[in-house]
Structure 1
Amino acid sequence: MGMPGATGPPMSLEGVDHALRRRVEERDRIAGDLLDLDAHPGNRLLSGMTPTGETGRRWEQAQASLVTLWWLFDAYRRVLDLAAEARAASRPDLGLLTALLTGASVELKPDDVPVEKRSLLRAAGEWVTLDTVLARMDRTYREIAETAGAVDAAWTALLPDLDRADAARRAAGELRESLGAADTELDRLDAEARRLRAQVATDPLGSAGLAGEIAALARAAEARRAALEQAARVREEYADRAARLAGRIEAVAEAEREALRVRDLVLAKIDSPALPEMPGQAPALRDRLAALGTAGGRWLELVERLTSLERGVEEALAHAQRVTESMTGLIGRRDELRGRLSAYQAKAVRLGHAEDIALADLYGTARDLLWSAPCDLRRATVAVAEYQRAITRIGAAG
């Protein structure tokens, strides 16, 4: 079957040249776009593997569409080659050229349809215009590009965290080797990373739901690297830190001895004081420090035990100091009452009541309580308050 003729009057030679030039430029642009599509990162990555799942299904469709796209482009190009040949004749056939450039000049034969696009119920051959072929190519191109772009976007979203996890795991593995220690947690992270990477690599489009798991893996790998880095630091610093700990434990022991000394002083000077429980952590802390030496180079374990002991030593020291301050405050309270009593006695003298018998009795009661050992702070506080109120009334009366 021959090519259908043009449906309108022939174009002028100038019109033919213009249309042919536009179509050739169009052909070259399309060829460049098709090459760019082949070079797209998503297409290149998929071409080098066997995708599975949703990605495999979309890629199979895209490959079939790509074959169709090149087939359509080849049919388009053949018509332009015929038009260029006709235009080069010594006496160009303007009717033929018009038919080629504007009419249904592209034959899409059933036998030329790619196998994956065929049906056993063969359709008859089809003649379409260059514009129709261009529209079909554009539609097919967009479908393929959408798949390639979706795959590339999926990889772009998921691979950075996987790469971050891999970098952290490699660094952690090197640290583990240098420490000569087994690490079951790092082994678990390695297995998890292999599983997730295999799934993302073969089915990025079906792996969008793994983003949370992958981010968690990256965080866990970085945390494990940090733990191993800390273990390596502990190995280098262990002797110095252990020596410092021994010194701090002696500081705890001294603070606890000071608390006992202050307790005995308070018991001697204050009647029935409410005392806190006495601290006594130094012996247990010494035992914990000695036990660190039995870890046998298990540096990951030592990190936790050493850090915990350092924290415990500082807490014990702070507790002993707080207890001492609390008990010292009882004596300070007595001394503060003594000072207040002396100040109000001086005020009574200034007010001209130095010989006031009632005031002298109140002063004597308070003084006896405050300068007795042990001192009854509760009664002394009440006595000083009564003496203070009495002088305040005198002052107010003028």
Structure 2
Amino acid sequence: MGDGGTAGGTAGPGGPADGPVLGPEEVDRALARLGAEHEAVETSLYALQDHAGRGLLENAELTGVTKERWARAEESIALLWTCFDTFTAALRSVHELRAGCRRPGPGELAELTARLRGPVVALPGGTEGGGDGIGDGVGDGGGGRVGLAELVRRMNRWYAHALDVVTAAESVWSALPARIDMLSAELQRVRSLAHSVGVRPGEHPAGDELEDITAELTSLRAEVVADPLAFWVPAGGSSAPGGGRPDTVRYDRAARALEDVRREIEAVLQVRQDAEQRLMRLRDVLSRADRTLAEARTARGEVLAKIAACEVPAVSGPPTALYEQLSLAAEHRRHARWHRLSPLLESLEERAEEELERARDSLSAVTAPLAVRAELRGRLDAYRARLARRRMADDPLLAERYDAARRLLWSVPCDLRAAERAVLRYQRAALEVLAPDGEGGAG
């Protein structure tokens, strides 16, 4: 709608107006602006009359905040038409007065100025200070009368209030019910899949979740249809009518919950298709863990026999509990209890891999002393080879330290700590000899 702008003003029948008396050209420009305002108001009113959201609001069984706001919006719409008729009549009278005096004198210009600027329009009853855009008493002049520009400003505000309600309601109705219906259709598909794999309310958490989602969507749709404005989030800082968006928090939560259930049901379906292969893989992983633990137990005995002065960790027994659960999983498969088999398989697969990793770690921990002994032997021989290339291996001190380290490393049981100290002594002596020839360093 328009902005209500006019120019100039003076005294008239409705009371005094501020400003100088308008000249003929200023009167004509003011009339042209008011004419444009009149056309804009009329166009807006008819557009509001035909707005799809208004038709929906008029025919719906409303509740809550929407019922309250629509009742006030209907008052605004009725007031708009009444004030528009008053505006039309007042503007016509000014046009007639101007048309009757081609060359208006001072008295006629004063009269025209008063009608254009002064408080010449009486407001309908009940518009003096309401809320939600229905009258606020601003610029009333005296006795509930306002000027044409103020009347246009008020009509703009009432129109914006009504349009905001209509547009917001239509936006919610256009967005949420259709999306809820689509989600409900997907819900039925998931329920059918769930039933086919034995996922039912009271027997599986996913079945109970589907019942909760069904109840939520039914309730949500009924609330959206009856009270759409309860699901409208106005745009922050925006004064434009209809500025905002539908509140989809509850819908989004239900959609996420259904997606979680759908993935779980599809996982159960997948279990039905590849259960035997997964069970075979589980048996293989547990068997490898068993063999690794057996190897660790054998290695521990070897280490205890060959290495002295060294702590060797104990090795646990086979994963009996996992084998029991594996037997239970096979039982679920035989009796087609897919909804129970699915989570059990997932848990078993994770724990079986953990068991295999634990067995490998145990083997590594048990054989660590043998690996240290092998590293020390390799280091000892490497330094002796470097010395031999320089014809220094037979140096008495070096030969003595080499023999001492070698005896310790090849003795059974091997005192690993003493052997490591002997290798370090030989290494330091070798580095001192090799350094002048450019072969020094940590090596």
Fold in common (TM above 0.5): yes
Question: For the residues of structure 1 that align with 2:416 and 2:165, how far apart are their CA atoms?
Answer: 87
Matched, 1:148 2:159: no
8 Å Cα contact 1:272/1:376 also seen in 2: yes
CA pair 35-362 structure 1, distance change in 2 beyond 3 A: same
CA pair 236-49 structure 1, distance change in 2 beyond 3 A: farther
Question: For the residues of structure 1 that align with 2:93 and 2:427, how far apart are their CA atoms?
Answer: 123
Kindly tell me the number of residue pairs found equivalent between the two proteins. Answer: 374
Map of 1:137 onto structure 2: 155
Kindly state the Cα deviation for residue 381 of structure 1 after the two structures are TM-superposed: 1.0
Map of 1:33 onto structure 2: 44
Kindly state the Cα deviation for residue 290 of structure 1 after the two structures are TM-superposed: 1.9
Map of 1:171 onto structure 2: 186
Aligned 1:1-398 pairs, distance under 5 A: 29-40=40-51, 42-74=53-85, 134-151=152-169, 155=172, 167=182, 170-180=185-195, 181-182=199-200, 183-201=207-225, 202=227, 204-205=229-230, 215-271=252-308, 273-295=310-332, 296-349=335-388, 350=390, 352=392, 354=394, 356=396, 358-395=397-434
CA pair 392-19 structure 1, distance change in 2 beyond 3 A: closer
8 Å Cα contact 2:393/2:399 also seen in 1: no
Deviations 1:191-246 (A, max 9, x none): 33444444444152477597655544443332222222322222333233223323
Kindly state the Cα deviation for residue 374 of structure 1 after the two structures are TM-superposed: 2.7
Identity, in percent, stands at 32
**Structure 2 gaps, min length 5:** 1-11, 16-23, 102-107, 126-133, 135-142, 201-206, 235-246, 438-443
**Structure 1 gaps, min length 5:** 87-91, 111-116, 118-124
Kindly state the Cα deviation for residue 172 of structure 1 after the two structures are TM-superposed: 4.4
Question: For the residues of structure 2 that align with 1:207 and 1:24, how far apart are their CA atoms?
Answer: 36
Question: For the residues of structure 2 that align with 1:63 and 1:70, how far apart are their CA atoms?
Answer: 11
CA pair 43-242 structure 1, distance change in 2 beyond 3 A: farther
8 Å Cα contact 2:123/2:145 also seen in 1: yes
Kindly state the Cα deviation for residue 337 of structure 1 after the two structures are TM-superposed: 1.3
CA pair 269-36 structure 1, distance change in 2 beyond 3 A: farther
- What letter matches 1:190 in structure 2? T
CA pair 165-366 structure 1, distance change in 2 beyond 3 A: farther
- What letter matches 1:262 in structure 2? A
Question: For the residues of structure 1 that align with 2:431 and 2:29, how far apart are their CA atoms?
Answer: 116
Question: For the residues of structure 1 that align with 2:82 and 2:357, how far apart are their CA atoms?
Answer: 83
Question: For the residues of structure 2 that align with 1:48 and 1:334, how far apart are their CA atoms?
Answer: 91
8 Å Cα contact 1:53/1:203 also seen in 2: no
Map of 1:114 onto structure 2: none
8 Å Cα contact 1:250/1:282 also seen in 2: no
TM-score (norm 1): 0.71
